[in-house]
Amino acid sequence: MITTVFAFLLTLGVLIVIHEWGHYQVARWCGVKVLRFSVGFGRVVWRRQATPDSTEFVISALPLGGYVKMLDEREDSVAPHECEQAFNRKSLPRRVAIVAAGPIANLLLAVLLYASANWIGVDEPKAVLSAPAAGSLAERAGMQSGDWVRAWSREAVDAGQWLDVQSLTDLRWQVTQAALERESLRLMVSDAAGHGSRQVVLELGRIDSSEVDAKLMQRVGLGAPFSEAVLGDVKAGGPADKAGLKSGDRVLRVDGTPVTDAQHLRERIRRLAADGSVAPMVWHIERAGTTRDLTVQPRVMSEGELRFGRIDAFVGRTAEMVTVQKGPVDGLVQGAARTWEVSMLTVKMLGRMLIGQASLKNLSGPLTIADYAGQSVSLGLAYYLGFLALVSVSLGVLNLLPLPMLDGGHLMYYLFEAVTGRPVSDLWLKWLQRGGALIMLLLMSLALSNDVVRLLGLH
């Protein structure tokens, strides 16, 4: 809990400071006097001001944002000798640059963070797959347990040339992008030892845009990485222990059906009968070179409305991992490419949510960010930097949306001024700000509601 809170506050602190620093620095370059640089809103808990005429730096009690207050004749009286330092006196290009600098700073930070994660390197599961779910796209494509995905290809990307699959994480990313574009994804696969290469096609165009969400991989049939059906720790007194199962047992068949991998076995355990019960299962196992049959009676568990079987034993071994690491130049290039890809993905998802082609349940808020921040910190520095980059991209893109109260809204005002030759009237500004505040409140409420539902496991 302490790690999660610390990681969440660190994430917000870094992203807010960088965003506001972008506004602050470009404002100073443009000759605008900055009165206050605030991290957070509300009551000030810390302040620093070198001289009465310098910028006041403050930290406020509510850390969900920040602001840079500039000298502006529309907000307060300005001394005659300072009028040339007022924001409203600056040319339109300079005002645009100052407003756009915050989101751009977040996007540039994301490039550096992704590059740093590439330079450090991360351990990710090798792209060796478990048996695809029955009826899934992967099964219909002919994919099997133990398939190693070596390369991918799309006609719309690099003219369909083959590109290496670095890890299972990389494969999932390519599947997500192809699904959003409703394009087929060609894969070059072999067995786990690298023998017997063949091509398969995932017909991702069959997936509706509204189904591109957290459960996309389940729909495609790309579940957990391959792991042998071998038992790990067995909890004393649990169903597995009562059946006589032990750590190291290899499960060969369940009720006469061969078990292909750990994922297949887990699905068999979790499966319920029509009446919501779990029938006893006969497991044919191998132990110390000999085989035997054991009867296992899973118990029924509930999480919210979900019910499933459980045996209180760890099923499977740790997946084979690969280290994904880049050199100085490649790491930076890949960081810029990933920032662009995530930005476009964010824009597409927001657009599809707006027109009803994607579920609003995809919106996440502070609770989900805090949860993921804590998880990424526990995995290591490179994972946390990647997470921080993802949130930084989201913050940069969201702030460029043409909504009043956001930087993108102010840029729309300046576009109107550039086209008409006059600024938006004060009356219109007042009503647009009110409308923008209402939209932001609704979005924040929806995101928080999604967070609560997600964390409680209700969908």
Please, are residues 198 and 190 in contact by the beta-carbon 8 Å criterion? Answer: yes
Please, are residues 312 and 234 in contact by the beta-carbon 8 Å criterion? Answer: yes
Q: Using CA atoms, how far apart are residues 311 and 227, in angstroms rounded to an integer?
A: 18
Tell me the CA distances in angstroms from 11 to 88, 323, 335, 365, one per residue in order: 32, 25, 19, 13
Please, are residues 432 and 409 in contact by the beta-carbon 8 Å criterion? Answer: yes
Please, are residues 156 and 421 in contact by the beta-carbon 8 Å criterion? Answer: no
Q: Using CA atoms, how far apart are residues 438 and 356, in angstroms rounded to an integer?
A: 20
Polymer length in residues for the chain: 459
Please, are residues 152 and 186 in contact by the beta-carbon 8 Å criterion? Answer: yes
Residue tagged active-site, from 20, 155, 211, 267: 20
Cβ atoms < 10 Å from Cβ of 280: 11
Please, are residues 250 and 230 in contact by the beta-carbon 8 Å criterion? Answer: yes
* Alpha-helical regions (H) of 73-231: 92-120, 137-140, 168-181, 216-220
Is there a catalytic annotation at residue 20? yes
Give kind and range of the element (H or E) at residue 234.
strand 231-234
Cβ atoms < 10 Å from Cβ of 51: 6
- Categorise residue 254: left if φ over 0, alpha if ψ from -120 to 50, beta otherwise: beta
DSSP annotation string for 35-73? EEEEEEEEEEEEEE-SSTTSPEEEEEEEEEEEEEEE--T
Q: Using CA atoms, how far apart are residues 248 and 433, in angstroms rounded to an integer?
A: 64
Q: Which positions are catalytic?
A: 20
